[in-house]
Chains A and B, each alone.
Chain A
Amino acid sequence: MTSTLTLTPVKNPPKLRATTGATGPSNKRSTMSTLVLLVGALYCLLPVAWVLIASTKSAGELFSTFTFAPSSHLWENIQDLSAYRGGLFWRWMANTALYAGVGALLSVIVSAMAGYGLAKFTFVGKKAIFNIILAGVLVPGVILAIPQYLLLAQVGLTNTYWSVLLPSIISPYGIYLARIYAAASVPDDVLEAARTDGASEARIFTRISVPMMVPGLVTVFLFQFVAIWNNYMLPFIMLGNDRLFPITVGLSGLLNQGASQPAMYTAVITGALLSIIPLIALFLLLQRYWQVDLAAGAVKA
C-alpha cells in the first residue's frame, strides 16, 4: 500500500504533449471514435436536458405530455417552490453553500498546513503520521457516521450546523494531495533563504509557501466541496430539524412526500434543476483545475 501511494511529486498541471508528427496516418479523422464519444456525451447530458424541460411543465402536463416537449411554467414552478413553507428550499440551498463552502475552505486550510508540514520538515514521527493519514484515505467514510453521531450526541452537538461541518473538515485525501503539491511547488532553497533573512515560520508559510501552493489548493478545495455536497448519509443521520438540511436531504424528503401527493413531483424536479445550476457553473469555471493525477508518481517512480 505505502509503496504505491508514497509517490514522488505530481507535475501539476501536466504539460500538454508536444505536437510532433502532425502529419501522417495518425491525423486521419475517425468517424467511429467521434461517434462513440458523442454517444457517451449524450448519455451524460440526457438527464440534465430532461430536468431542464420537465421543470417547465405544470404538475398536470408532467404526466400527460411527451417528456421532451417543453412548456412555459418554469417561472410558476420556481415561485411555487420558493413559497413552499416560507422559502424552505432557499434555506436548504444556503445551508448547502455553508456546509460545502465553509467546510471545504476550512478543510483546505487544515490540509495545506498538514501537507506542508509533512513535505517540508523532518521530525520525529513523520513517517508514522503520514502512514496513519494514508490509512485514513482508505477508511470507508460513511462507516464513521454512526459512531460520529453517537459521540456528538454525548456532547449535545447533533442536530446543529456543527454536527455536519466539523466532521467534514478532516480529509486524509486532501492532506495527501496537499503534501504532494507542497513537495512539488515550494523549493527548499526559497524556504532556506527566507529563514536566513529572519522571517518567522508563520510568515514564511502564509506569504511564501501558500501562494506557491494555490493551484493545488484549488483542486483540494474542489474535491472537498464536491465530497461534502455529495455526502448524503452524514447530514441525513445528524439532522432532525429540516431547517438545517442541505439540499440533498431536503429534496429526497420532498420526493418521499411525492409518493403520496404527485403534485410534489414538480417541486422536486424544479428543485433538482435549481440545485445543480450553481455546481455546474462552478465546474465549468474552474475546469482547468480538474487535473486528477492519482498515480503519476507511481508511473514515474
Chain B
Amino acid sequence: MTVQTPTRSRRAVRRKSGRFAPYVYLAPAMTLFTLFLALPIGYAIYLSFRSVKVSGLGLGKGARTEVWAGFSNYSRALTDPDFIASVIRVGIYGLILVPTMLGLALLFALLLDSRRTRGRGFSRVSIFLPYAVPAVIASLLWGFLYLPRVSPFYYVFDKLGWDVPDVLSSPWIIFAIANIGLWGGVGFNMIVIYTALKAIPSELYEAARLDGASEVAIAWRIKIPVVMPSLILTFLFSMIATLQVFAEPMTLKPLTNTISSTWSPLMKVYRDAFTRDDIYSAAATSVIIAVATFALSFGFLRLVQRRAFSQENS
C-alpha cells in the first residue's frame, strides 16, 4: 500500500465536485432570478396578448373566458390619451430633473475634490444624507414644506408681502416633484462621481497645475473627461429611475388634487391593474415601458460608447 492511491482518488473526487461547484454557487441566484425576474417578465408578456371575453350578461361561471387578443392591448395602450399624457409629463420631468441633478452632483463632487474648499467632510455627509431617506418619507417631508399653511417658505414670503403661487398647483407641481427627486438623488450621484475623481492619479494634473492652469481648466480638461464613464452610468441609472417615478407622486397625491391617478406611466399601470381590474392592458403598458427603457438605455450607450470609451478600447 502506498500513500499515492488514496491521494489520487481523493483528487479525482475533488475534481469531480469542483466541476459542479460553480453551478452549486449559482443555483440559488439563478433559481430566484428565474422565479422573480424571468418568469414574471414572461408572464407579463403573455398577459399582454390576452384579454377577457364576456359572453351573455357576463354572469355565472364560464361567462368570462380568457382569449388571445393579438396586439389589441398594445394599440389601445399606445393610443390612450392618459398614457400619452403621462409619458409626456414624465419626459418633461426627466428633462428638468436629470440634467439639474447630475450637473449639481458633478459640481459638488468637483468642489469636494478641490483642496481649496473648506468644510468638505460636513458637506459630503450632509449632501449624501437624503439618500438614507426613502422616497416616500422624502415626499412626506417636502409635501409639508410645500403646504402653504405649514411651510416656512410661505411664512417668509407672506411676511415679505410676496404673492407666491401654490407649488402644489398645476404648472408648478412637476417642479415640486422634480425637487424631491433632486433632493434624494444628488448626494448619491455626487458620491459616485467623487469616488471616480479620487481614483485619478494626481500626477495627471499636478503638471498642469505647475504650468499655471486654473482649477476650472483642470476640471474641464482633465477631471471631467476622466470621470465621463461614471457620468454616463449615473445618467443611465437616473434615466431609468425617472421613467419609473411612482412613490413621489403617489405620496403627494392626498395633499393636492393636481396629481391625477395617471400622473406617471407607472401610476397608470397601477390604476389599470388594481382599480380597473384590467391586468391585460396593465401588462401591455408595463411591457411598453420596459421595452422603451431598454431601447433608451441601449441607444444611449451605443451613442456614447464610441465617444467616451473609444480611446480606452482602441
> CB within 8 A of B26: which of A11, A18, A45, A114?
A114
Check: B132 CB closer than 8 A to any chain A CB: yes
Interface residues on A, range: 35 or more
* CB within 8 Å: A-B pair count: 340
Q: How far is the CB of A241 from chain B (nearest CB, A)?
A: 16
Check: B269 CB closer than 8 A to any chain A CB: yes
Report yes or no: A280 in contact with B26, Cβ–Cβ below 8 A: no
Check: B137 CB closer than 8 A to any chain A CB: yes
Report yes or no: A147 in contact with B33, Cβ–Cβ below 8 A: no
Report yes or no: A248 in contact with B29, Cβ–Cβ below 8 A: no
A138 to B141, CA, bound (A): 30
Report yes or no: B140 in contact with A147, Cβ–Cβ below 8 A: no
In the complex, residue of chain B having the shortest beta-carbon distance to the beta carbon of A269: B144
Report yes or no: B244 in contact with A255, Cβ–Cβ below 8 A: no
> CB within 8 A of A67: which of B118, B152, B215?
B152
> CB within 8 A of B195: which of A167, A230, A293?
A293
Q: How far is the CB of B297 from chain A (nearest CB, A)?
A: 5
Take A14-B199, A17-B202 as given contacts and tell me if A114 and B183 are in contact as well, using a CB distance cutoff of 8 Å: no
Report yes or no: A67 in contact with B41, Cβ–Cβ below 8 A: no
Most buried by A among B199, B206, B294: B199
> CB within 8 A of B141: which of A17, A18, A47?
A47
Report yes or no: B201 in contact with A30, Cβ–Cβ below 8 A: no
Report yes or no: A139 in contact with B37, Cβ–Cβ below 8 A: yes
Residues 170-208 of B, flagged 1 when their CB comes within 8 A of A and 0 if not, give 000000000000010011100110011011111100100
User: Other CB < 8 Å A-B pairs besides A47-B130, A138-B294, A233-B246, 18 of them?
Assistant: A4-B232, A25-B212, A28-B116, A36-B107, A37-B119, A47-B138, A110-B28, A114-B25, A136-B33, A138-B293, A146-B269, A150-B47, A265-B150, A269-B140, A283-B131, A292-B192, A295-B233, A298-B309
A-B contact pairs, 17 of them (CB 8 A): A1-B297, A20-B206, A24-B210, A37-B127, A41-B119, A66-B152, A67-B155, A114-B30, A143-B289, A146-B273, A148-B40, A232-B251, A252-B251, A255-B140, A295-B196, A296-B196, A298-B309
